[in-house]
Amino acid sequence: MVDKPVRVAIYARVSTQEQAVEGTSLDYQADQLSAYCQAQGWTITGKYVDPGYSGKDDERPALKQILTDAKSRLFDKIVIYKLDRLARKLRLLLDIEEKLKEHGVSLHSVRETLDTSTAIGRTVFQMLGLVSEWERETIIERTKAGRLQRYKEGCWGPGSPPFGYDYDRDKTKKLIINEDEARVIRRIYDEYSKGKSMTQVANMLNEEKIPPRNPKKGKGWRNTSIRDVLFNPVYKGTQIVNIYQKHSRLPEEIPESAIKIEVPPIVDKALWNIAQERRKNNKHLQPPRSEHWLLQGLITCGLCGYTFSTGFTHNRREYGCRGRLKYTHIDGSPRCTSPRLDAEWLEQEIWQRIEGIINDPNKLDKLLKETVDSLKNREADLNARIKPIDDRLAEIASQKTRLAEEWVQSSISSTRLQEIKRDLDQEEARLRSIRTEIDPAQLEELEQIRGLLRFWNGQLGALSWNTETEDGRMVRTIDKPHKIASTIIGFEDKELTSILSFPATKREVLDLLQVRVIAFIDRVEVKAIFPIKPIDCQLLRSDCRSGRCPPSR
């Protein structure tokens, strides 16, 4: 009796830093893995490659795909050249191995000669994984130590130097002044100190076609980039390094771990201090920003696609399209003509529609049923598209296995084997391409929406909301311990029982309902997990400067 051929998938990975290191290139790994599998008599059913990805990244495309295919049992083993090619963190390694074990797929490393299908192989696997993580942490510590030493010697660290400076890579390893860019820096400080605003300075540079460093297509100077120049102490001769920065600008309070490096100044300290003093004075003149912007980040322009920003006109809160601003069209494209919207009345109109749904048990019940039916239809449609593809992929894998068996038994010639395998490979590639077009995020979205429906179905029916405070917060009052449409989905929502334990903001309710707003010239459309009536823009435009908008209809 001939043993069933072992189907294997090979996986290779290389990070950006390792591209040129001997023994880690993708071609080297692929050659070694193919030769090893051929020597073992194993049939390679798939090749998965992650170029330019770190070993600590669990969102690698090929890694995610190979785990998905393992679930479909498209192979019996995953073969890697070395353990750290799969992952450099022990927790991630163990998670991957556990998932593979659940699907009956083992892991085989060529360099360490281990196989997780055996007890000793699994033990060695865990030990080597621990060593791999220790090795990674050691490399990180050495890198940090080397960087700190460079800082203490006054050398520039990793990353691009600030605008106005170049990095003297060959000699001093320090920053040197780029005179062409330095003239722009001095002019920014000079114009700002004379009274121009940051936006005016940015517009001036854009109109004179003075580009920032490495400008993106259609992007030039912005008020934020001018701000970063004005308040960066590097330009007065002090570079602050060794701090974690989520944004490019420095934090208000400099941590003790920070290191100060002396660099050639571009502007004198007196001019730099004038800019800082003006900034402080401007802060005192600005009105307090304690207003609650209910729809901030939720409004998209239906004309140009830009998001709406917040602002004031004559002390009146407004939402306006960013596409109206000059800096978004320095490439010469026309500005958006979408009108600004009065914030108070737009928020009121939208909240009234939301409140009308969540405070009406019968309406909520009806909408939930309609939404769940729609979700079920979407899920069925996705499953109808995906399941036949997965079934056929599994069938192709079985056909390849049978072909290998026939070849071993000399029932088929090598030429015929290659012809059939080529056809199967082409069909498999076509099916995988189709499956890739079906975004897995859609299925995840369905699960998220079901969770939201469980929330409303299990909790909201017992509540009524009353706005009682000026900051937009709502107080929950329990009418009676009943549930709305308790049989709609048939679920237990224990994990969601504590969500409404405390007062919630209106914004949290909008986020739970996945509310999104699209503004057109004549109307505002509101998208959520259930249909919401659009809003007539005529009463919401800020164009009608009649003192105050008419009352909501």
For each of the domains in the chain, give its residue range(s) and CATH number, in order of start: 7-143 (3.40.50.1390), 165-285 (3.90.1750.20), 289-378+446-553 (no CATH)
Q: Could you tell me if 397 and 74 are in contact, meaning their C-beta atoms sit under 8 angstroms apart?
A: yes
Q: Could you tell me if 524 and 511 are in contact, meaning their C-beta atoms sit under 8 angstroms apart?
A: no
Beta bridge partners of 14: 51
pLDDT at 186: 93
Please, where are the H alpha helices in 166-216?
179-193, 198-207
pLDDT at 244: 52
Beta bridge partners of 114: 109
pLDDT at 93: 78
Q: Which helix (H) or strand (E) holds 316?
A: strand 316-321
pLDDT at 25: 79
Higher-confidence residue of 401 and 515: namely: 515
Q: Which of 208-217, 424-433, 446-455 has the highest mean pLDDT?
A: 424-433
Report the 10 Å Cβ neighbour count for 285.
6
Three-state SS annotation for 225-293: HHHHHHCCHHHHCEEEECCCCCCCCCCCCCCCCCEEEECCCCCCHHHHHHHHHHHHHHHHHCCCCCCCC
Q: Could you tell me if 300 and 307 are in contact, meaning their C-beta atoms sit under 8 angstroms apart?
A: yes
pLDDT at 522: 87
Mean of pLDDT values over 470-496: 36
Q: Which of 115-119, 183-187, 430-434, 460-464 has the highest mean pLDDT?
A: 183-187
Instruction: With a cut of 70, say whether residue 495 has pLDDT above it.
Output: no
Instruction: With a cut of 90, say whether residue 8 has pLDDT above it.
Output: yes
Instruction: With a cut of 70, say whether residue 88 has pLDDT above it.
Output: yes
Report the 10 Å Cβ neighbour count for 174.
20
Mean of pLDDT values over 476-490: 32
| 437-479 pLDDT per residue, tens | 665 555 555 555 555 555 544 444 444 444 444 444 444 433 3
Instruction: With a cut of 50, say whether residue 549 has pLDDT above it.
Output: no
Higher-confidence residue of 246 and 113: namely: 113
Measured distance between the N- and C-terminal CA atoms of the chain, rounded to whole angstroms: 83
Report the 10 Å Cβ neighbour count for 305.
12
pLDDT at 196: 84
Mean of pLDDT values over 35-53: 88
Higher-confidence residue of 435 and 104: namely: 104
Amino acid at 111: R
pLDDT at 253: 55
Q: Which of 54-58, 278-282, 377-381, 532-536 has the highest mean pLDDT?
A: 532-536
CA distance 294 to 344: 9
Among 297, 286, 303, 337, CA closest to 319: 297
pTM (2 d.p.): 0.39
Residue with tokens 């085989």: 108
pLDDT at 494: 37
The bridge status of strand 7-14 relative to strand 77-80 is: parallel
Of the given ranges (397-406, 446-455, 486-495), which has the lowest mean pLDDT?
486-495
pLDDT at 78: 92
DSSP category for residue 539: G
φ, ψ of residue 501 to 5 degrees: the values are -70, -20
Catalytic choice (15, 34, 54, 464): 15
CA angle 146, 245, 162 (to 5 degrees): 75
Token pair for residue 206?
């854009």
Examine the residue annotation and report whether 464 is marked as an active-site residue of this protein.
no
Query: In the predicted model, what is the mean pLDDT of the chain?
Result: 72
Mean of pLDDT values over 118-131: 58
Residue 59 burial (CB < 10 Å; 0-12/13-18/19+)?
Answer: exposed
Instruction: With a cut of 70, say whether residue 209 has pLDDT above it.
Output: yes
pLDDT at 256: 58
CA distance 476 to 463: 6
Mean of pLDDT values over 70-99: 83
Instruction: With a cut of 90, say whether residue 185 has pLDDT above it.
Output: yes
Q: Measured between alpha carbons, how far is residue 163 from residues 184, 193, 254, 313 in Å?
A: 9, 19, 22, 34
Report the 10 Å Cβ neighbour count for 50.
23
pLDDT at 530: 75
pLDDT at 247: 46
Listed in order, strand segments (DSSP E) in 124-199 are 165-167, 175-177
